Amino acid sequence: MPGLAVIGHPVAHSRSPEMQMAALTELGLAGEWIYGALDIAPEDFEAEVAALALEGEYAGVNVTVPYKEAALAMADEASEAARAIGAANTLSFRDGRIVADNTDAGGLLRSLPHLPEGERALVLGAGGAARAAIWALVDIGVEVEVWNRTPERAEAVARQLGARAVAEPVAAEYDLIVNTTAVGLAGEDPFEHLPLAADSFRPEQVVVDMVYGEGPSALLAAAAAAGASTVDGLEMLVQQGALSLRIWTGAEPSLEAMRAAVHR
């Protein structure tokens, strides 16, 4: 039975196992495939992933915080997107070799209510998820500005991916705002940690928050109250997860089944 899993640290909060098993069940593959979660400590990451690739029990894994850049560095092969982004969230194990892909970029674009070609976007963060968002948006002709609490990181990522770093963004000036940071995951007030104010949003904007919980994040609640369109981390999870599952199985999973699973 081919194994699949999400790898991270921590990973107990992830809804990927339930979501992917729902998709496999809908496809009629639940008896052939299984999807779980592996919490791997940073000092063990490389050895554990190498073992998974060699042992042959796993067909692949999703990779989440904090391992997306390390996952790409381990790969024997990588897709064009993963190489360009500099991070991987999907690994496939083929005859002992590690093949890296990045479905975060496509997952973001599939989550949006429309493709923002020619528009202006603000990406908050500079990690693997931020790199995927920046690359995806720049690739379709979006003018992207990047903020990070460490300005040097924002400048480095922006320079590498064709965006521009910004120290004090004005939220109302952007058509799209994407929060890729973990701010809000532990219940903290995003407006104390991000360069945004609760009253800084406007209608016609699209606001994406990759953080997810039991209900809308404080960031998305404020954006929705201002009339902006919002996309939560669960929709991103579904869209990138569907692309990963298609890589591994060759089948097109049911988004409806996956959404139902993550919202239970």
Active site residues: 68
The DSSP letter of residue 56 is S
- Beta-bridge partners for 5: 36, 61
CB 38 within 8 A of CB 14: no
Q: Which of 132, 123, 128, 138 is nearest to 208 (CA)?
A: 123
3-state secondary structure of 104: helix
CB 161 within 8 A of CB 153: no
- Number of Cβ within 10 Å of residue 215's Cβ equals 9
| Alpha helix ranges (H) inside 104-146 | 104-111, 128-139
Q: Tell the residue number behind the tokens 């997107």, with chain if given.
A: 81
CA–CA separation, 172 vs 146, rounded Å? Answer: 15
